[in-house]
Every structure is written in structure tokens, then in C-alpha cells.
Amino acid sequence: MTDIIKLTAAETAARIASGELTAVEVTEAHLARIEAVDEKVHAFLHVDREGALAQARAVDAKRERGETLGPLAGVPLALKDIFTTKDMPTTVGSKILEGWLPPYDATLTRRLRDADVVILGKTNMDEFAMGSSTENSAYGPTGNPWDLTRIPGGSGGGSSAALASFQAPLAIGTDTGGSIRQPAAVTGTVGVKPTYGGVSRYGMVAFSSSLDQGGPCARTVLDAALLHEAIAGHDPLDSTSIDAPVPPVVEAARNGSVAGMRVGVIKQFRGEGYQAGVVQRFDESVGLLKELGAEIVELDCPSFDLALSAYYLIAPSECSSNLARFDGLRYGLRTGDDGSRSAEDVTALTREAGFGDEVKRRIMLGTYALSSGYYDAYYGSAQKVRTLITRDFEKAFEQVDVIVSPTTPTTAFPIGERADDPMAMYLADLCTIPTNLAGNAAMSLPCGLAPEDGLPVGLQIIAPALKDDRLYKVGAAVEAAFLAKWGHPLLEEAPSL
Amino acid sequence: MTVITELVPFDEALAAYDPVMGLEVHVELGTATKMFCGCSTELGADPNTQTCPVCLGLPGALPVVNATGVESAIKIGLALHCEIAEWCRFARKNYFYPDMPKNFQTSQYDEPIAFNGYLDVQLEDGEVFRVEIERAHMEEDTGKSTHVGGATGRIHGASHSLLDYNRAGIPLIEIVTKPITGAGSRAPEVAKAYVAELRELIRALGVSEARMEMGQMRCDVNLSLRPHGTEKFGTRSETKNVNSLRSVERAVRYEIGRHAGVLNAGGTIIQETRHFHEDDGSTTSGRVKEEAEDYRYFPEPDLVPVAPSRAWVEELRGTLPELPRVRRNRLREEWGVTELDMQSILNAGAVDLITATTEAGAPADQARKWWMGELARNANESGRPLDALPITPAQVARVSELVAAGDLNDKLARQVIEGVLAGEGDPDTVVEKRGLKVVSDEGALGAAVDEAIAGNAAIADKIRGGKVAAAGALVGAVMKATRGQADAARVRELILERLGVEG
């Protein structure tokens, strides 16, 4: 059984297709693993044992009938609890949606089902995807499998922890400011934020509509590519979805190479606040890229210094509007409706009880930033910064094919350490936010352990919009080189739980 | 603390003040589906049966713009002589209300699809007044709340409310005028004429039936007064949901009197929304806007900008029908009728029917005579609108043709019409079945004439003696003998001929 859960998704699918393993066996192995370790890790908010086994049986039946199986058929997956599922509650990590069973499947959910992926359950997250540690979940924090007293990143900490603790070989995340990449970085896994519009947002509960992007999480670059291909593509139900062919990500992941590529290093992404071990591993990665035949180019992106400020105006502004619908009238939590109170009072009581502190903080920030008289100074200025950041990226990509940086300035910090210091928490997304603001694509993959704490460090690769395949081409090359250097996947060094 | 002020008589108010109006009209488009989802817009369905995750604003759902809605908006903009934006966005208007599922309305703010236009409206005496248009923008309707358990049906005093989201997301176009100044004592008439003209226009464009009684067209009346000779606008009141032409006129009239009363008493007008009461034509205070409501508008991030190509806009311009007022004036001239006649044709709903009848070949005076005479009477008696009568303009034109050819006289023609209305078939069939043809057989007619002369020798002598007017009696006798199926003019000719008298 242990062997099954350590397999890559690609290998699992191949063995199911060949009949060496059944999808039911694979699913049962993962359900057993969840049973064994998730009490400690708390990656899942909901495990759908019956649904997963039914899906697995359907895959096995298909194979028995001689039908051709898709590249991920029968592979288990952990779904972030932000995508609607008809057969499982969708809480977004919030009390305000506790027990809400959506009447519809998200486009991404439907695509996973169509690809015969086995959805094991829904993973924990910071409430409404607001956070970098998963501590803002209304259902309690998730532990980092490398050290259960530390955060697994956020907001998609449940998904990254599920991967790192071998509870699933695939997971789905969403990335508004780094919520796929930063958890990947601190758990030694791979996470990709596709180009904005690459993966449908229909059925993905909105935090900040112009920044939110769903994407694949896995333990290898190829697995992420296979998942990317399964979930990406135009969706007529999402107006912002890109109506163009999905970049050839799987092909790129199978043909990793950086020879002759120009790789940019941004000078703004180092200095104060960066942990020494993170900088060390990052510099080694740059050296490795050079060895592999890449040309390194130093880049200056001055507007990136303003990215965090702009983000914390735009994202809360959009969230203040997106979250207005949670009023206790139609679905989810309703508090204080004793027949004596007005709808307005019940709404106020519901929101008071149903939203956590960080969500309230951002709703207030956003409401203020959009207020008449402040709009130009806050939301308006932030949009201008956003344009500047996009221009900086455009200029940079005239000189280079991809950009690399540390994914996050530090390794996983202890649970509770930054819980009362929002600003410190926000800094975790320093290197990831510019990509969300510009809408282009980025990946985080492991580049070693920080010597001082033995915790994973993430390397971020950033590509221009619509060139998501470059992430996989470079990522696969870097991954192969590290594997050769270490002699085994980094996760082998994680405690066995 | 409600201050009751005396209404100032209209003329007195106008002697002291100059009214400034602003009219905001919401038109529900007649698209088959809602503005941002595929749900039906059909009226009359059971509550909450025409809803989906999108128009219910469920978590995760996203809007997609209805292209027909955009097309209708552009047509309205063009017909109002507006500029059409080359690029515009939707915006979120944020406020909490239970009948709005997302607690924001997807609307347009500083980038409307159409702006800077005008609509010329004709007053009853024929004077044309130009109403300038600020903008026309796209948005979605809200759901409907029914407040239960209170005396008034308003939320105040109700024990609970029922929500129906079938209407939520139905496309609306909001058309906003620039401040209407210079109307003076004709302000109520201008307001009414503007809404009437806009309604005709919307119907002519085929983008909505614009039935005010069904809420497909709703009007908010903003009004303020300023003392004569001053430039600065006074504080305005906003009277919401004034939903008939007559009410628009009354609301303006009432508010002029009310404002003048407050101002004359040295008071100040409070900027507030007001409710209009159909029963007595009064308005009462709604909620006071202590400060301008802050809707925290920002561009809707879930939708991509709307960028109608110039080619498309021009193509749509090419499909625009003649403006109702222009068409009315053209027809009036073509038909040679007075302003007053035209007004009664309009009121009878006969413009299109008469037009179609002339297009089918009838002379305008004949078409008008039938529709405004015999047929209008029949419609009136049977309590049906004119266009619901079971007769087509082509059939009326055929009757007119038969009369012109001398095959029918007026009396017979009326019988043919009666037969068509009774479902006996088209005019030719009725003529045949009822045997209604004019007797034009000269032989048969000649015999009848001879018989009449022989039977009325005294009268015949009078005629021979030069009393031509006496021929009428003989014509009558011939008509009687032929059961009315003779051409009276020909009969007269024959009689005079036989008696050797010059007609």
C-alpha cells in the first residue's frame, strides 16, 4: 500500500490503464492513508469515501469494457473547498457556508469528473482564500507534513499538505496572491498559477475576481502538467476565460530544457526579509540554470515594490463586493432569526458570526477603498500601479524567456507566529503577487531545504501570459537536475508521519 | 416631524418659479433570456422557477453578457441620436437589498454604452420640444419583494416578505435625460409627451413592448424649482415608479405645487425619494437621503469590456425604423388630415392599420374612412382593439378596390365588410355568397329604368319639363327594384338619357 501512495499521478494512471492496479485499489490506498494521518495533518474538511470509490469503480468498469482511459483516469485528487461540488459541501473554509451543498458543479469540478479523476474530498483553506497559512480557516489549521507545528502555506494549505503527506498525488488550488505557489514552496511540492483566464472560474467561489485563478498542484512537474491540461481551456460560462488553445504544457513537461534560454533575475526580489537559507538555495538554483545552459539576465522592475500595497487595495475592494451576497437570506448560515428581528439585523448578526477576523478586516478595507472621495486615491491608484507592473513584466519579457525568484521569502513559519500580525503575514506573498496583478503564469517547485531549519524552499518560475508551457519546460529541466543531484525526490526527506 | 405645507396652485407656482425636470426611464428589454444568464424572461411564471446559479447570485456563479441585450441598447442609443461608446464596461453598484441576490447590481457607471443624445417630442398643439439625453446604459433588474402582514403592502409594518427572483437579471436599459429646462408651464405636458414618445420609439424599435402597466417601462421623475431669473437649480425631489403617462403628468404638476408651497413658506426642499399615489395624484416622502448614497461603483471584474465595432453600429443604424414622430408627421401630410384627426387616428391605434391598407393599394382617404368609421364603430361595440378585428388591411383594400371599380357601392361595401367580420371569407367570397354585385348589365338596368318611368309618369313629366332634381325619386325606384345592387350614378344617367334631358 505504501508504494501506491508514493507513485506519481502519471505512473498511477499508467498502471491503472495497464491493469496492474485497479482504480479501486488506488483509491482505497489513499483513503487508508487519509484515515491514518489526516487526524494529525488536517488537510481535508470533507472526505467523500463513497463518492470516490464509486468513481473508481466506474473507471475500472470502463477499462473492463475496453474503453480507452484518459491520462489521469482513476488518479485520486484533493479538491480545494472553494470549487462547488453537487455531491459535497462547499464551505470555502468559512462558517458562513457551513454545510452548504451547492446545486451545481464548478466547470473545473465537471472537467475533473469528465477526466475520470477520483475526487477524494475537499481540502482546508484560509477562509475565502484570504491568508498565507491556512490558520484563517474556520475549521482549524492544517499542519505542514514537514513539521506539524508549522504552517503548510495558504490559502491552499490543505491541498499542499495532502500532497506532501501522500494523501493524494494531485490537488487543486487557487491563487489570488500566491495561494497555490506559496503552499507548494513551504511543503516541497509543485504548484502552478496558470495565466489569468486559463482555467475557468465558474463555480469557484470568488475572493478577488480579477486576480483569482485556479490551478494544478502535484508532487512532480509532469503531474502538474497533466492536471493543468485536464482543467484548462475556454469556458463559455466564464467571460474572462481565454478563448485560445491550451499551451502545450504536457509536451513541455516531457521535454524539459533551458539550453539557450534567457532567464531573468529580478533585483527587487532579495534583501531585507529574505531568509538566508532561502537566498542560498535560490542562488544555487540560478547557478544550476547557468550550468544547464541558460543565460542569466539581471532585471530591474521598480514598480514591484508597490505590488503588495496595490494588491491590498484591489483584492479587498473586490472582496468587499463579492462577499456582500453572504447575507443569511438565501443559503448558508443564518443567525438571530427569531421572528422579532428585521432582515437587516439578521444579516448583520449572520455576518458577525459567520465571517472570521481576516475576512472582516478585508471587507472593511475594501469598502473604505471604494468609498466615494477615496476611490481615486486608493482603488484608482492601485489600478495604475497594476498597469505599471504589467509594463515592467512586458519590458522584462522583451529581454528574457522566463524569470526566476524565490517563491516566498521564508520557509514555513510556526503556527501562531504571524497570526496576530497581518502585515508580517502579507509579506509571505511578496514575490508571488506581481504575477497575479499582471495576469501572467508562474510555478513554484522545490529547490532544496534551507540549511538552518531543514525546511523546503521554493523556486518560482514566471512566464509571460499564455506561455504557460515555458514554466513546464524550465521546471522539468530544473526538477530533473535536482533529482540527479539529490538522488531522490525531496519529499523522501520529510518525516514519515 | 412632518411639515405639512399648502400646495400652491399651479399657475401661481409657475408665476414665481421655473421648473427643472430630470426623467429616468427604465425599460425592460424583450429579450428571450436574461441579461447575464440563459433563464427565460417570460412573465407570469411561478415564483422562483426562472432562476439559476447566476441570477440567484450563488457563490461561484459568473455572468455572461446577452449579446441581444447589447444590440437593443445600441439601437435605443442610436434612435435617441446618442454617441455609441467604442469601449465601455459594466460596473457594480453596491448596496444591500434582499431582492438583489448579489447585493450589488451589475450596471454601468461612468462608461455608458450610449450618451449625449436627444429626443424631439411633439406637444398637443404641434410644438416640438427637444429633450436632451444624458445617457442610456445597460443593467439588470432586481427580484420582486412582496411584503406580507402590514396594512400598506410596504415593508414598514410587514411581518415578513416573500422574494421572487424570476425578474432578477432581466435586462434593463436606463435612459436618463439631461436637466429639462425652459418647459415652464408646459413641464407636465412635456414630461408626459417625452415618456409617450419614448414608449412609441421603444415599440417601433421592437426591443420591448414597453407596457407601463406591466412594469416593462418605469419612470422616475426628478423635479426642482428655481425662482425666475436665477440660474442655479434648486434641490430636487425624486418621485419613484410613476408608471403611467397620466401619472407622469400629475406627478410633475403635484411636485411643482408642493415645492412652491415649501419655498413660499421659507422652507427648504429636502433631497429625498418620494412615492406617487395613483388615487389622488399626490406624493409622499420615502426615505430621506441624508447624504448622497455611496454605491461604491467599480468596474465589474467578472465581465470583459463591451466594444461594439463601428461596422456593427452602422449596420444597426441601417436597421432603424423611422422615428415615430417623423413618421406621424409624414403620414399626416400624405393622408391630408388635420393635427386633430391624426390625434384621433393615433388614439384609435389605427396608424399602422391605415398604413398597411394604403400599402395594399387603397387610397388613404378610403383606408381612413373604413378604419375610423365602420370598423372603429364595430371595434367599439364589440369592445375589441381595432387590430384585433378579424379583418386584414388587405381585405379592406380589396373592398375599397371593388368600390372604385364600380362593382360595389357604399351600402354593399358595408355589407361585405360585415360579412368578412362575421367570418364568411374574404371580400370576393362574401360578394359571391351574398350575391352583392352591382347590377351593371345595361339590358337589365334599362328594363328597370323603363319600368320606373312607366310606373311614375307624373314624375317623368316633371323631369322632361326641366325639374332634373326629381330624378332622385326614379333612381330610388330603380334601386329598390334592383335590391340596391345598381350603380346609382349610372341609373341616373340612364333615366335622364331616356327622358331626353341633359344632366
Contact call for B301 and A210, based on CB within 8 A: yes
Does domain B442-498 bear CATH number 1.10.3470?
Answer: no
Question: What region, left, alpha or beta, does residue A153 occupy, with left being phi > 0 and alpha being psi -120 to 50 degrees?
Answer: left
Nearest chain A Cα distance for residue B214, angstroms = 27
CA distance A125 to A91: 10
Mean pLDDT to the nearest integer, A352-364: 97
pLDDT given at position A272: 86
- Do A41 and A117 reside in the same domain of the chain? yes
- Do A225 and A373 reside in the same domain of the chain? no
The residue that leads in pLDDT, A146 or B469, is A146
What pLDDT, in 10s, does the model give residues A229-249? 999 999 999 999 999 999 999
Confidence label for B452 from pLDDT (cuts 50, 70 and 90): confident
Tell me the chain A residues in contact with residue B65 when contact means C-beta distances shorter than 8 Å. Answer: 239
- Decide if pLDDT at B157 tops 80: no
Confidence label for B1 from pLDDT (cuts 50, 70 and 90): very low
Which one of the listed residues A94, A133, A155, A317 is annotated catalytic? A155
Contact call for B98 and A343, based on CB within 8 A: yes
Read off the C-alpha cell for B313.
453600429
Mean pLDDT to the nearest integer, B352-379: 92
Tell me the chain A residues in contact with residue B53 when contact means C-beta distances shorter than 8 Å. Answer: 102-104
Residue A172 β-bridge partners:
A79, A216
Chosen domain end from A387, A402, A434: A387
Read off the C-alpha cell for B261.
408651497
Contact call for B94 and A324, based on CB within 8 A: yes
Nearest-by-Cβ selection for A205 from B60, B63, B301: B60
- Do A165 and A33 reside in the same domain of the chain? yes
Contact call for B98 and A327, based on CB within 8 A: yes
Among residues B10, B21, B13, B206, which one has the least CA distance to residue B129?
B21
Q: What is the CATH number of the domain that holds A59?
A: 3.90.1300.10
* Torsion of Cα atoms, B152 then B156 then B162 then B164, to 10°: 90
For chain B, what percentages of helix, strand and coil (3-state, to nearest 5) are there? 40, 20, 40
DSSP string of B84-141, one letter each residue: E-SSB--EEEE---TTSTTSEEEE--SS-SEEEEEEEEE-TTS-EEEEEEEEEEEEE-
pLDDT given at position B3: 52
- Decide if pLDDT at A64 tops 70: yes
Whether A473 is catalytic is: no
pLDDT given at position B478: 85
Task: Answer yes or no: is A315 within a domain.
Answer: no
Give the CA distances from residue A322 to residues A315, A402, B169, B300, B319, in Å, rounded to whole numbers and listed in that order: 10, 33, 17, 10, 39
* Helix pair A9-18, A23-41: axis angle to 10 deg: 150
Q: Residues 217 to 236 of A: which have CB under 8 A from any B CB?
A: 236
Cβ atoms of residues B21 and B252 within 8 Å: yes
CA distance A33 to A13: 19
Nearest-by-Cβ selection for A239 from B53, B62, B296: B62
pLDDT given at position B441: 67
Under DSSP, the state recorded for B386 is G
Chosen domain end from A387, A407, A442: A387
Other C-beta atoms lying within 10 Å of the C-beta of residue B110 = 11
Mutate to test the interface with B, among A327, A331, A371 (most CBs of B within 10 A): A327
Contact call for A367 and B296, based on CB within 8 A: yes
- Decide if pLDDT at B348 tops 90: no
pLDDT given at position A1: 44
Nearest-by-Cβ selection for B102 from A210, A325, A331: A325
- Do A289 and A334 reside in the same domain of the chain? no
- Do A382 and A395 reside in the same domain of the chain? no
The DSSP element (H or E) to which B324 belongs, if any, is: helix B324-335
The number of distinct structural domains making up chain A is 2
Residue B32 β-bridge partners:
none
Least confident of A372-381, A403-412, B491-500: B491-500
Mutate to test the interface with A, among B58, B160, B163 (most CBs of A within 10 A): B58
Other C-beta atoms lying within 10 Å of the C-beta of residue A374 = 16
- Tell me, what's the ipTM? 0.96
CA distance B49 to B40: 9
The residue that leads in pLDDT, B459 or A382, is A382
Of chain A, the percentage scoring pLDDT greater than 90 comes to 95
Whether the bond into B224 is cis, omega within 30 of 0: no
Confidence label for B489 from pLDDT (cuts 50, 70 and 90): confident
- Decide if pLDDT at B372 tops 70: yes
Task: Answer yes or no: is A202 within a domain.
Answer: yes
Nearest chain A Cα distance for residue B216, angstroms = 26
What pLDDT, in 10s, does the model give residues B194-243? 999 999 999 999 999 999 989 999 999 999 999 999 999 999 999 999 99
Under DSSP, the state recorded for B270 is -
Nearest-by-Cβ selection for A239 from B94, B161, B303: B303
How far from each other are the two terminal CA atoms of chain A, in whole angstroms?
A: 15
Q: Kindly state whether A407 is in contact with chain B, defined as any CB-CB distance less than 8 angstroms.
A: no
- Do A30 and A11 reside in the same domain of the chain? yes
Nearest-by-Cβ selection for B60 from A202, A372, A375: A202
Nearest chain B Cα distance for residue A237, angstroms = 6
Contact call for A90 and B59, based on CB within 8 A: yes
- Do A156 and A268 reside in the same domain of the chain? yes
What pLDDT, in 10s, does the model give residues B417-434? 999 999 999 999 988 888
Mean pLDDT of chain B: 91
CA triple A461-A465-A106, angle to 5 deg: 95
Mean pLDDT of chain A: 97
Cβ atoms of residues A427 and A273 within 8 Å: yes
Read off the C-alpha cell for B125.
398643439
Least confident of A196-210, B213-227, B351-365, B439-453: B439-453
The residue that leads in pLDDT, B160 or B167, is B167
Dihedral sign for Cα B330, B336, B339, B342, please.
negative
Contact call for A321 and B298, based on CB within 8 A: yes
- Decide if pLDDT at A87 tops 60: yes
Mean pLDDT to the nearest integer, A422-435: 92
Which one of the listed residues A179, A208, A210, A303 is annotated catalytic? A179
Tell me the chain B residues in contact with residue A201 when contact means C-beta distances shorter than 8 Å. Answer: 60, 62
- Do A126 and A82 reside in the same domain of the chain? yes
- Do A365 and A457 reside in the same domain of the chain? no
- Decide if pLDDT at B480 tops 90: no
Chain centroid offset of residue B228 CA: 34
Q: How many CB pairs under 8 A join A and B?
A: 100
- Do A58 and A186 reside in the same domain of the chain? yes
Q: Can you give the residue ranges of every domain in chain B?
A: 10-294, 324-434, 442-498
pLDDT given at position B456: 86
Mutate to test the interface with A, among B54, B289, B302, B306 (most CBs of A within 10 A): B302
Least confident of A253-257, A322-326, B383-387: B383-387
- Do A364 and A423 reside in the same domain of the chain? no
Residue of B nearest to A348 (CA): B96
Q: Kindly state whether A344 is in contact with chain B, defined as any CB-CB distance less than 8 angstroms.
A: yes
Confidence label for B36 from pLDDT (cuts 50, 70 and 90): very high
Q: What are phi and psi of B342, to 5 degrees?
A: -60, -40
Q: Kindly state whether A384 is in contact with chain B, defined as any CB-CB distance less than 8 angstroms.
A: no
Tell me the chain B residues in contact with residue A367 when contact means C-beta distances shorter than 8 Å. Answer: 296
Contact call for A330 and B294, based on CB within 8 A: no
Cβ atoms of residues A144 and A161 within 8 Å: yes
Tell me the chain A residues in contact with residue B161 when contact means C-beta distances shorter than 8 Å. Answer: 343
Alpha helices in A42-135 (DSSP H): 49-64, 107-114
Tell me the chain A residues in contact with residue B302 when contact means C-beta distances shorter than 8 Å. Answer: 206, 209, 239-240
Whether A62 is catalytic is: no
- Do A28 and A54 reside in the same domain of the chain? yes
Whether A86 is catalytic is: no
Q: Kindly state whether A330 is in contact with chain B, defined as any CB-CB distance less than 8 angstroms.
A: yes
Structural domain including A341 reads 324-387
- Decide if pLDDT at B289 tops 60: no
Contact call for A372 and B294, based on CB within 8 A: yes
Cβ atoms of residues B54 and B61 within 8 Å: yes
- Decide if pLDDT at A129 tops 70: yes
